[in-house]
Amino acid sequence: MLIDINAYIGHWPFRQLQYNTCSGMLQHMNRFGTDVAVVSNINGIFYQNVQTANEELAQQLKANTLFAKRFIPFAVINPIYAGWKNDLTTSIKKLGMRGIRLYPQYHDYEITDPACVELVTMARDQGIPVAFTMRMVDSRERSWLDIDLVSGTAKPEWNLKNILPIIKQVPDAQYMVLNFANNPALTDEELAIVKKTNLLFDTSGRSITKMADFLTKFGNEKFAFGTHAPFLDYLTGLLRIDSLEEAEAGAPVREQLRWGNAKKMLGL
């Protein structure tokens, strides 16, 4: 069993993506043995009215009965845009979305904006996960039209510390932190917060240089297979798990990472 908690369909305006439809992604999943993938529509990052992107995803998922079995859709919600509460309700109740992904960097709000806190609180109350992505692409390859958070400058990309403020405000929500990039260092107090939060990191991000060290630091229950496909190659996130040695993670732990932790948070 293999569950990918970090996949997308849709278009990235700055570079052509491959297999970025449900059918294309499914063919890729079949090639590499993935059973289920959590997907969102990339277009939601760019549309001002993000709900149209959620509707697009829902429409594409209806095109084939197989898609409903293999994809778990997450809605993209912008809590500072008109009608977002209706968007959330519609996405969950009518479109079949099972969680939400938020993009403060792209939708231009602070992670502790009262509207974001309210949204995360609502997600908590409905028992659905909230996902934040540290970055969509490496800023070194960014387009001149992309956001201007650039590593090595006074306005850097996000790291884990940028996500902690919302966790502190709504500590009992369920979180996914995707594409783990940049400095993973935390104070002991911050690490303790992460450890006691119901939170999953996916395994796609570049910061995970030695998987075993990250398992030791954060705990086996904090990681789940993720690809960040179709932005990143499909296999690196899997290699981080499957190349673990027996002494680092026995078969039960590897299964936990491949699908068990994801299944638990997704309520499958």
Partner 1 sequence: MTKGMLTSAGMMLGVGSFANQEAADAVQRSDDHDPFAAKNRAGYDIMKELKKYKKIDAHCHVYLFDGGPESNIAMADRLQIDKMVVSRPIYEETAGRPDEFIAFNNLVVKAMKAYPDRFIGQFTCNPIFQQESLEEIKRCVDLGMCGLKVYTQKKISDPLFYPIIEKMIDLKMIIHMHAQCQLGVGGYRMKYDTGIRPQTSIPEDFIAAAKRYPEAMFQYAHIGGGGDWEYACKSFVGYPNIYVDSSGSNNPEHMVDFAVQQLGVTRVLYGTDNCYYQSVGKLLASNLPVADLKKVFFDNYNAILKKSGRHVN
What residues between 137 and 196 interact with partner 1 by CB under 8 A? 137-142, 144-148, 150-153
> What stretch of H or E contains 41?
strand 36-41
> What stretch of H or E contains 9?
strand 3-9
Among 5, 8, 40, 43, binds partner 1 (CB under 8 A): 43
Q: How many other C-beta atoms can be found within 10 angstroms of the C-beta atom of residue 19?
A: 18
Nearer to partner 1, 179 or 197 (CB): 179
Among 189, 245, 246, 251, binds partner 1 (CB under 8 A): 245
In whole angstroms, give the CA distance from residue 169 to residue 111.
Answer: 10
Q: Which of 225, 189, 190 is nearest to 208 (CA)?
A: 225
Among 5, 8, 39, 47, binds partner 1 (CB under 8 A): 47
In whole angstroms, give the CA distance from residue 222 to residue 110.
Answer: 25
Nearer to partner 1, 25 or 194 (CB): 25
> Encoding tokens for residue 111?
């992670």
Nearer to partner 1, 172 or 233 (CB): 233
Among 95, 131, 199, 232, binds partner 1 (CB under 8 A): 232
Nearer to partner 1, 2 or 160 (CB): 2
From the CB of 79, what's the least distance to partner 1, in Å? 16
Nearer to partner 1, 24 or 169 (CB): 24
Site map (CB under 8 A) of partner 1, residues 70-109, x = contact: x-----------------------------------x-x-
CA angle 147, 150, 152 (to 5 degrees): 170
Number of residues that bind partner 1 (CB under 8 A): 73
Among 33, 127, 219, 267, binds partner 1 (CB under 8 A): 33
Asked if 224 contacts 261 with a C-beta cutoff of 8 angstroms, the reply is: yes
CA-CA distances (angstroms) from residue 60 to 40, 54, 56, 169, 184? 11, 10, 6, 35, 36
